[in-house]
Structure 1
Amino acid sequence: MALHMRRTLLSLHRTTCSTFKPPEVLDVRSPAPLLLTVRTKKRYFIPPAASLKNKETGNYEAKARAAGVVFRQEYMERPINIACTAGIIDPYVPPEGDSRLSTLSKEGIKQRTEQIRQSAASQLAIRKIKEHDAQFSSKTFAEKAQEIFVEAHNALSNFNKEKLHSLVTERCYPEMTRGNRYKTIRWKFLESLEPPRVVHARCPDMVSKGNLYGQVTVRMHSKQILAIYDRFGRLMLGSEDQPKDVLEYLVIERHLVNPYGCWRLHGKIVPAWAPAKDPIIKTVCIAGPELKPWEEFDSENYQIPKPEAVQWNK
């Protein structure tokens, strides 16, 4: 037993002495990780970079199909808003000068006939509106429309977008806010010169039968103040000291099928005989003299140069 143990220890001593190295020769580096690269089948399509030039361009859709990727078909979709109509259907035609002509004249007879035709269609539309809105009344609705008009313009002058969205339709909102950026609006409703009244009503259906919209035209004659200032604080239009008499025909609309719908301002009808609007005063930059760094500008002795006369030949 002792002999076998001695032989085992001698063999172990020989193996340890043969593999032993001095400290300065020992390799203390960590062993490199064992990585095996495995190439798999590409199951996706990678489009080439847009910056690569002077390379062959092929049919990428065919390559994608070969790789097993199917492109979704593109449709030309347009957003559709069913909360309001896209325009004023059968707009009201105000009589010229907002007065009734004599029935003895040819124009007066034509005007009277047109009024009878429009009033008959308005009565049928009002009946349809009352079927969906039990609180609608042509006598009290005009005052409600005037309140909507005043609140909408107050929200516009105060730049309250959330409140303005609830008072005007999606068609009227861009018309009221277009071009108002960097401008200051001062608007005020003073009084009504005549009580507002309902002059026209229509109840059309859109997209499908039974999808009804109510459009009511209200005549409003009032006194208002309007002043618009540009971004430099200069007056562009109107005046805050001079009120004006304004005659307007407002179109109020509601989606009758929607139980949560409400009456909102949809647009205005501008008759052909209405006077032209006042021109807008624009701020123009006039170039001054070219000064050197050591010179100062003398505003008292400087005269604005006038454009030279140009002779145009036909």
Structure 2
Amino acid sequence: MATSMRRTLVSLRSVTCSSLKSAQVPLDVRHPVPLYLPVRTKKRYFIPPAVNIKGKKEENPELKARAAGVVIRQQYLERPINIACTAGVFDPYIPPEGDSRLSTLSKEGLRQRTEQIRQSAASQLAIRKIKEHDSEFTTKTFAEQAQEIFIEAHNSLTQFNKERLHSLVTERCYPEMTRGNRYKTIRWTFVESLEPPRVVHARCPDMVTKGNLYGQVTVRMHSKQTLAIYDRFGRLMLGSEEQPKDILEYLVIERHLINPYGRWRLHGKIVPSWAPAKDPIIQTVAIPGPKLKPWEDLESLNYEVPKPAAVQWYK
């Protein structure tokens, strides 16, 4: 019994010694073993769309999103509209060339006369519709009222009174009057009226529905005005405050007739094709000069601005 126990102890001792020797093998510096062993992972079932995309058709992302359970919000391409005013001038008035009446004996004069008769007939029908909704409307007094609206709107523009300007011009005319005036100073005055204003055109269009009527009246106004625009540095860009100019304008005044609280407002201007071109804008340009030291002055140096050399341009 004792001999068998001794044999088992000897065998266990030999096994433990051999296991310890094998455990010391990886730690031996003389026999290095790689610390990271390549291990095969799961197979890659999803390939990013950027890989091997050439020569393949792109899949619909909406179908993928629906399959994944993601709800994509529908995009509406509709544009909101404002029914307080129309989007433009309906059947605009075409002023005769030079604002003069040609002889009916000529071909152009006869065509001009027939066009005036056609437009005046349509204007009379529109004035009847306007009087049905606005009993105080008359062509004699309305021209002076339109001129007052024009003067007050431009005075509000020079004073940057947005609340007052919104009540005098339509939502279509407001951005056209205020665009690009953020860092500018405007000086405008109405000197006098050279000719009494008069109504030359009237239309009564409808929008969205048949009974939603709008009144558009075109007023001819010939006056003397002054306009001066200064940039943010206070330099003159356009016009003059001292030199008035004779200006012939065709103003379009509009009102939403169905609205009981509607009022006549400035809607736009009609610029004829024969009108003279506008004056060019004087731009402020920085001319490079000499580099001055802190104790030097430009006037004391008598520096002359160099003029550009003449260049011959060949076609």
TM-score above 0.5: yes
- SS state of the match for residue 298, structure 2? coil
Q: CA deviation at 1:114?
A: 0.9
Alignment correspondent of 1:144: 145
Alignment correspondent of 1:131: 132
| Structure 2 unaligned regions, length at least 5 | 1-46, 51-59
- SS state of the match for residue 296, structure 2? coil
Alignment correspondent of 2:88: 87
The 3 A distance-change label for structure 1 pair 63 and 132 is same
Q: CA deviation at 1:198?
A: 0.5
Is residue 2:110 matched to residue 1:113?
no
Instruction: Report the Cα distance in structure 2 between the residues aligned to 1:79 and 1:199, rounded to whole angstroms.
Output: 33
Alignment correspondent of 2:296: 296
Tell which deviates more after alignment, 57-66 or 247-256: 57-66
Identity of counterpart residues, as a percentage?
A: 81
Query: Which deviations, in whole Å up to 9, do the C-alpha atoms of 1:162-212 show, x marking residues without a partner?
Result: 111111111111111111121111111122111111000001112221211
Q: CA deviation at 1:77?
A: 2.8
Is residue 2:165 matched to residue 1:169?
no
Instruction: Report the Cα distance in structure 2 between the residues aligned to 1:141 and 1:313, rounded to whole angstroms.
Output: 58
Query: Which deviations, in whole Å up to 9, do the C-alpha atoms of 1:222-241 show, x marking residues without a partner?
Result: 12121111111111212111
Alignment correspondent of 1:180: 181
Q: CA deviation at 1:144?
A: 0.8
Instruction: Report the Cα distance in structure 1 between the residues aligned to 2:199 and 2:215, rounded to whole angstroms.
Output: 13
Q: CA deviation at 1:216?
A: 0.2
Alignment of 1:1-314 (within 5 A): 56=48, 69-291=70-292, 293=293, 296-300=296-300, 301-314=302-315
Instruction: Report the Cα distance in structure 2 between the residues aligned to 1:304 and 1:213, rounded to whole angstroms.
Output: 59
Instruction: Report the Cα distance in structure 1 between the residues aligned to 2:90 and 2:184, rounded to whole angstroms.
Output: 33
Instruction: Report the Cα distance in structure 2 between the residues aligned to 1:91 and 1:212, rounded to whole angstroms.
Output: 17
Query: Which deviations, in whole Å up to 9, do the C-alpha atoms of 1:269-293 show, x marking residues without a partner?
Result: 11112122222211111111234x5
The 3 A distance-change label for structure 1 pair 217 and 56 is same
Instruction: Report the Cα distance in structure 2 between the residues aligned to 1:279 and 1:231, rounded to whole angstroms.
Output: 18
Instruction: Report the Cα distance in structure 1 between the residues aligned to 2:70 and 2:94, rounded to whole angstroms.
Output: 59
Instruction: Report the Cα distance in structure 2 between the residues aligned to 1:163 and 1:73, rounded to whole angstroms.
Output: 39
| Structure 1 unaligned regions, length at least 5 | 1-54
Q: CA deviation at 1:308?
A: 3.0
Q: Which amino acid aligns with 1:129?
A: I
Instruction: Report the Cα distance in structure 1 between the residues aligned to 2:294 and 2:67, rounded to whole angstroms.
Output: 74
Instruction: Report the Cα distance in structure 2 between the residues aligned to 1:196 and 1:85, rounded to whole angstroms.
Output: 24
- SS state of the match for residue 136, structure 1? coil
The 3 A distance-change label for structure 1 pair 86 and 65 is same
- Taking only aligned residues, the RMSD between alpha carbons, in angstroms, comes to 2.2
Q: Which amino acid aligns with 2:233?
A: F
Tell which deviates more after alignment, 210-219 or 255-264: 255-264
Instruction: Report the Cα distance in structure 2 between the residues aligned to 1:73 and 1:97, rounded to whole angstroms.
Output: 54
- SS state of the match for residue 145, structure 1? helix
Q: CA deviation at 1:294?
A: 6.4
